[in-house]
Structure 1
Amino acid sequence: MRPRVVSAVIAIAWLGALAGAVPASSAGTRQPAAGSQLWVSRYNGPINGVDQAYSVQVSPDGSKVFVTGWSSGTGSGYDYATLAYSASTGAQLWVSRYNGPGNRDDQALSVDVSPDGSKVFVTGHSKRIPVAGFSAWDYATLAYDATTGAQLWVSRYDTAGRQDDAHTVKVSPDGTKVFVTGLSVGTSGYSGYATVAYDATTGAQLWVTRYEGLGIGADARTMDVSPDGTEVFVTGTFTVVPKEGNSTSCHVTSGNYDWATVAYSAVTGTQLWVMPYDGPAHGDDEPHGIAANGTAVFVTGRIATTVCWDYVTLAYDAATGALLWQMSYNGPANQDDAAYAVGVSPDGTTVYVTGGSVGATPYNDYATLAYDAATGTVQWVMRYDGPAHSEDSPTSLAVSRDGTKVVVTGASRGTTSNWDYATVAILASALPLVSQAHPWDQCGRRGGVHRRLGGAGPGRAGRSGSLLRR
C-alpha cells in the first residue's frame, strides 16, 4: 500500500510588534498574536494517496489563494491538482484536476494569475501517448476560470518526441501573453532552455526560443517578466567541463554545472543578453528563483562553498545584465542552506527569498529573508519549523499585491501523517533583525551569517537568530 500523504494549507500571521505591544484594530479588538494560526485547509485526493503542493499564488484583489501540484489519480499515476481557497477563511472554493493523454504521471510545477484575476495558468510536465512503448513528457500548460475552476484551454509543447519538462509559467503585465520555460531535449540529443510564449485567451503558440549553453546540456529552472512587459528573464543551469579538486565537507562536487541568466524580448523572443555565474568555490551552483522590479533582476539559489551549500542572491541590471550585488546566507547549523524562491515587493524596494535551511534539529526549516533591493542589506529573517520538528521543504513564494503579506508553500512532515502541504503567511513589514552569536563549528564557520560576496567586497550584513520561531 502506498504511504498516505495528506495536503495541508496553513496560514500563520507573523506580526512585527514587540512583546506586549501588539496593535489593536480600530474597533479596539487585538490582532492575532505573533505566530498564531489564522487557518488551515487540507486536501486529500481521490484515492487517499500522495498529494504534493508545488506552487502558490495570490489573486490580485487578495481574496483567493491558488495552489497547484500533483495528486494520485485513479489508475493514472499522478495528475495535476489545482485548488482555490478563500484567503480570509481558508475554505476550499474549487479543485481542478488534469490527466494528460498518456494516462500516466502528470506533475504541475507552477501557477500564475492574470492581472485582472479572471484566469489561473498552470504548467508542468505531462506524459504523451506512448509510441512503440515509450512515453516521454511534454510541456502541458492549462488555463482555468479563476472563479469556477473550469478549464479554458490546454497547450502542449513537444520537440519531435523528445523529453520536455516545463518548470515555470508567468503572465505578462497586460494579461495578453503567457510565458513558459523549462528543460527541452533538442535534435542534438542534449537539453537546453526552451521558452514558449502563448496567447493568454486562446493558448495559441506565439514564439519559441532556445538557449543551449555550451551545447552539452542546459536546464531552465525559472523565469520572470519585466513590470513593463517588454522583457522575459530566464535562469537555469548549463553543463561545463568538469573542474577538478572541488569538494566540501558536506558534499563532493565536480563543478559540472554553473548557472546562466538570459534576457529575451517578450514580443519576438530575441535574446538580449546572457550572464553566466560560477560561485566562489567553483563547484556545482544552482539557481532556483528569479524576480524583476523594473530596473533590476534578482536570482536566488544555492552555491557550493568550501564547507557546505549556502543561499546566494544576485542582483543584475535589467537592461545590460551587469552584476549589482550578491549576498549569501549560512543558517544557524552551519550545514546545507538552499534558496528555492524569490519575490519582490510591489513598490520594488524589498526582495524576499525563501528556502530550506538546517536548524536546531538535523532537518531543514523554512528560512525566509528580506533584503533591501538597492543594496542587498538584510531586513529580517524568519524561520518555520513544522509540528513534527522534522523535514520542512519550501518550494514557492508569493507576495500579495498590496505588499502586506509574503506567502510561502511547500512540504512539511506531519506528526501523524507523512508529507503535508504547509503554507505560511508572513507579515511583510520590517521586523527587528536580532543578532545572536553562534559558536564556531568544526568547519570554521559561524551560523546565521550573511556574507556580501560582491560590490563593496566581503563583510557581514547581519546575523539571524531564533526570530519569532513557532
Structure 2
Amino acid sequence: MLRTTAVIVITIINISGQTQEWVRRYDGPASKVDGGMAIAVDNDGNVYVTGRSANTPSTFECTTIKYDSSGTEQWISKYHGPATSGYTDTGWCITVDNGNNIYVAAASRDSLTIDDIATIKYNPAGDTLWIRRYNGPGDDYDWPFDIAVDDKSNVYITGRSVGAGTAHDYITLKYDSAGSEKWAKRYNGTGNGADEAYSIGVDHDGNVYVTGTSTGAGTGLDFATIKYDSLGNEVWVRRYHTTGEMDEFSSSLAVDSSGNLYVSGGTWKFLQGVPSDYITIKYNPAGDTVWSRRYNGPGNDDDIPEEIEVDRWGNVTVTGESWGGAGSRVDYLTIQYDPLGNENWQKRYDGPLHQIDRPSAIYVDARGNVYVTGKSRGSIDDDYLTVVYDHNGSEITVQRYDGPGDWADAPQDVVADDLGNFYVTGLSGGVNTTYDFATIKYSGIPGIEEGVDRHPRYQTTIIAGPLQLPEGKIYRIFDAAGRRISIDQIRPGIYFIEVDGRISQKVVKIR
C-alpha cells in the first residue's frame, strides 16, 4: 500500500463558480497585428504564451511572455532570424518540461533560405539556453505546427518543409536537452505532392507519432500517420483513404498511456462540393486499426474536426465545427468515444445569435473535464468563447470575452493547471492598437475530487507534506497533463502513481 507522511480527511473542495481572475494584454512597439498562438502552464502555475508582435510596421518577432499565477509579467523574450528586413517570425507552438524549461518552435525568416524552423529553449528565468534552426533541402518555406517534450527533456517538432523536387514534405525533428540534433526525418507521400504534418505525440517509451495530410498516388489527399522509434527509425506508416475519389485531411492526434494512437480528421469530395464529416481512428501500437468512427451533423454540411485529446482512461474527445441545421449555422461540436469506440456523449454549442461559432483548441485535464475554446459571434463581432464540460458531458461553465476594441477576437489555445484553473490566449482587438495578445485566467473548476467515483479502482490520497514511497517496487509519477516527473518535482496539484506498470493511486497534494 502506498503511504504518505501526512494524510488528511478527503473532502470536496468547493469553489463558488468560475470567474475571470485576470486578463493580460500585450501590444508590440509598432501597435500592429500582435497575438498569441499557443499557451502552456508549468508545475508552479506560471503561464507561458508565444506568438508574434510587430517591432516595426513591416517586421514581426517571435514573442514569448511569462506570467506568474497572479498574472504578473515575469519576462518577455523576442527573437528574429538572420533576415534584416521584411521578416515575420512567429512562435507557433510551446511546451514546458519537468524542470519548467520552456521550448518554442517558430517560423523564422532567413534572407537566403526564406523561412526556417527555429527551436528555442529558455530556462525559467527567461534566459535563452540554445537556438537551433532547420532549413530544408528546398531552401524555401519550412514551418513548425506542433511540439512535444518527453520526460528526459528531449524536444520534438513536426511541420512542413519544402524538399528538393518534392514540394512540401513532413519534417520531424528531435533535439536532446542540450540542443543536439538527434535526428531529422522527412516523409514524401506516395503522390510526390504536398505533405504537411500537423500534430505530434510521444509515448512513455520514446516512440514518436506524427499525422497530417499527404498527397496519395491517384487518391488525392489522404491521412498519413507515422510511428518512429526513439532512434528515428520508421516503424510504420498508415494512410487512410475512402473510396469514391474523396479527399481526406488529418488535423490532430493523441497517444494514450498504453501506446494506442487516436487520429482525427475529415473527408469530403472537394471538387464535387460534397461536405466534410468527422473521421476518428484508433490504432494499436502495431499500427492496426482498432476502430474508426464517422460523424455527419444534422445540417448535412461541413463538419470539420480541429483537435483531439485522450484522457487517462482511454476516452477520446474530438472538437471542431459542425453545421447545426435549422435555426443554426456553424456550431462547436464536441464528441467523446470510450476506448471501444462507443459514443459517450456529444455536445453542441450554438451562440446566442445562432451565427458562426468555431472552436480552435481543446484540453482535457486529469479529472476528465473538457475545455474547448474558439470564437463565437457576439453583439458586434467575434468573441473568445470557452466552454467546459465535465467527464459526463455536462456543461460546467461558458466564458465569453469581448476585447476593448470591439473587433473580432480569435482565441488560439487553451490549457488547464492541476487545480482546474484554465487559461486562454489568442488575438484580440484593442483600442488604437489593432490586435494584441490577450491571455486570460479563469478560476478553478468546482469539486477537485468530483471525478473520483467514476474511476473507483484508483485509490485517492490527499497529502499535506512530502510524498514517500515504500521500497521494493517500480514507481513512475505523472502529473495531470500526463508528463512523467520525479518525486522532488511534486508541487500542489493532482498526480497519478504507476506501481509496477499499472496506475493504481491518485494523489492530491494541497501544500
TM-score range normalised by the length of the shorter chain: 0.7 to 0.9
Alignment length (residue pairs): 384
Gap runs ≥5 in structure 2: 1-55, 448-511
CA distance in 2, matches of 1:206, 1:388: 51
User: 1:165 aligns to what SS in structure 2?
Assistant: strand
What secondary structure does 1:5 align onto?
strand
SS at match of 1:176: coil
User: Contact between 1:6 and 1:42, CA under 8 Å: does it hold in 2?
Assistant: no
- 2: distance between equivalents of 1:384 and 1:68? 28
Structure-1 separation of matches of 2:368 and 2:167: 42
Say whether residues 1:60 and 2:77 are aligned partners.
no
8 Å CA contact 1:235, 1:262 repeated in 2: yes
Q: Which amino acid aligns with 2:107?
A: W
State how far apart, in whole Å, the 1-side matches of 2:353 and 2:62 are. 28
CA distance in 1 between counterparts of 2:158 and 2:227 reads 13
Q: Which residue matches 1:162?
A: 193
2:77 and 2:126 in contact (8 A); partners too:
no
Distance change >3 Å, CA 359–CA 99, structure 1 → 2: farther
Output the amino acid matched with 1:95. I
Mapped pair 1:43 → 2:64: no
1:77 pairs, out of 109, 114, 126, with 114
Q: How far does residue 4 in structure 1 lie from its aligned partner after superposition?
A: 2.6
**Are 2:241 and 1:212 aligned?**
yes
Counterpart-to-counterpart distance in 2, 1:386 and 1:151: 41
Q: Out of 328, 345, 348, which is 2:365 matched to?
A: 345
Matches within 5 A, 1:177-196: 177-196=207-226
For residues 168 and 308 of structure 1, what CA distance do their matches in structure 2 show?
A: 28
- Evaluate the alpha carbon distance shift between residue 43 and residue 187 of structure 1 in structure 2; reply closer, same or farther with a 3 A threshold: same
Partners in 1 of 2:432 and 2:187 — Cα distance?
40
Task: Give me the whole-angstrom Cα distance separating, in 2, the residues matched to 1:406 and 1:68.
Answer: 23
Match of 1:445 in 2: none
Show the counterpart of 2:329: 308
Residues 329-371 of structure 1 deviation map (CA, whole Å, 9 limit, x = unaligned)? 234554322112212112x421111222234542x33333321
From the superposition, tell whether residues 279 and 218 of structure 1 become closer, same or farther in structure 2 (CA, over 3 Å).
Answer: same
Residues 394 and 142 of structure 1: is their aligned pair in 2 closer, same or farther, counting only changes over 3 Å? farther
How far the C-alpha of 1:315 sits from its partner, in A, is 0.7
Check whether the contact 2:63–2:76 (CA below 8 A) recurs between aligned residues: yes
Once residues 88 and 293 of structure 2 are traced to their aligned partners in structure 1, the CA distance between those partners, rounded to angstroms, is 39
2:283 aligned residue: 264
Deviations, residues 292-347 of structure 1 (Å, cap 9, x unaligned): 112311000111234332111111112x211111111234554322112212112x
Deviation at 1:90, TM superposition (A): 5.0
Contact 1:4–1:418 (CA under 8 A) maintained in structure 2? no
Is 1:405–1:425's contact at 8 Å kept on the other side of the alignment? no
- How much does 1:225 deviate? 0.8
C-alpha distance in structure 1 between counterparts of 2:270 and 2:112, whole Å: 43
User: CA separation in 2, counterparts of 1:398 and 1:195?
Assistant: 25
Work out the percentage of aligned pairs sharing the same amino acid. Answer: 31
Q: In the aligned structure 2, how far is the partner of 1:390 from the partner of 1:93?
A: 38
Alignment TM-score, normalising by the size of structure 2:
0.68
Q: Is the 8 A contact 1:6 1:418 kept in 2?
A: no
Q: C-alpha distance in 2, partners of 1:149/1:387?
A: 41
User: Are positions 1:144 and 2:175 aligned together?
Assistant: yes
Q: Partner letter of residue 136 of structure 1?
A: A
- The CA deviation at 1:410 is 4.3
Distance in 2, Cα, partners of 1:220 & 1:354: 20
Asked if 1:125 corresponds to 2:160, the answer is yes
Asked if residue 101 in structure 1 is aligned to residue 137 in structure 2, the reply is yes
Alignment of 1:295 with 2:326, yes or no, is no
The amino acid of 1:429's aligned partner reads G
Q: Which amino acid aligns with 1:199?
A: D
Q: Secondary structure at the match of 2:293?
A: strand
Q: Which moved more, 1:66-75 or 1:136-145?
A: 66-75
Question: Distance in 2 between the 1:290 and 1:407 partners?
Answer: 18
The one-letter amino acid of 1:371's match is Y
1:171 Cα deviation from its structure 2 partner: 0.5
Q: Which digits, 9 at most, give the CA deviation of each residue in 1:96-139, with x for residues without a partner? A: 3222111100111001111x141111100100013xxxx51110
Summarize the Cα distance change of 1:430–1:12 in structure 2 as closer, same or farther, 3 Å threshold.
Answer: farther
Does structure 2 retain, via aligned residues, the 8 Å contact 1:240–1:258? no
Distance 1:193 1:54, change over 3 A: same
In structure 1, the residue corresponding to 2:140 is in which secondary structure?
coil
Which of the pair has the greater relative contact order for Cα pairs under 8 Å at 6+ separation? 2
CA contact (8 A) 1:138 1:157 kept: yes
* TM-score, normalising length: structure 1: 0.73
Give the Cα–Cα distance (whole angstroms) in 2 for the partners of residues 240 and 170 of structure 1.
29
How far, CA to CA, are the matches of 2:374 and 2:117 in structure 1?
23
Q: Is the 8 A contact 1:178 1:197 kept in 2?
A: yes
What is the CA RMSD across the aligned residues, in angstroms? 3.0
* Residue in structure 1 matching 2:445, options 418, 430, 438: 430
CA drift of 1:79 comes to 1.8
The residue aligned with 1:273 is 291
Which stretch has the larger CA shift, 206-215 or 177-186?
206-215
Residues 372 and 398 from structure 1, CA distance in 2 versus in 1: closer, same or farther, beyond 3 angstroms?
same
Give the SS at the match of 1:6. Answer: strand
State which of 264, 269, 277 in structure 2 corresponds to 1:235.
264
SS at match of 2:412: strand
Which residue, out of 366, 370, 389, partners 1:371?
389
Provide, for residues 214-236 of structure 1, a one-character-per-residue CA deviation record: whole Å limited to 9, x for no partner.
3421111101011232x100010
Q: Which runs of 4+ in 1 moved over 6 A?
A: 414-420
* Equivalent pair of 1:222/1:288 in contact (CA under 8 Å): yes
Residues 62 and 106 in structure 2, CA contact (< 8 A), matched pair in contact too: no
Deviations 1:138-171 (A, max 9, x none): 100011234x433322111112422211110000
* Alpha-carbon offset, residue 379 of structure 1: 2.0
Is 1:7–1:419's contact at 8 Å kept on the other side of the alignment? no
Distance in 1, Cα, partners of 2:377 & 2:179: 37
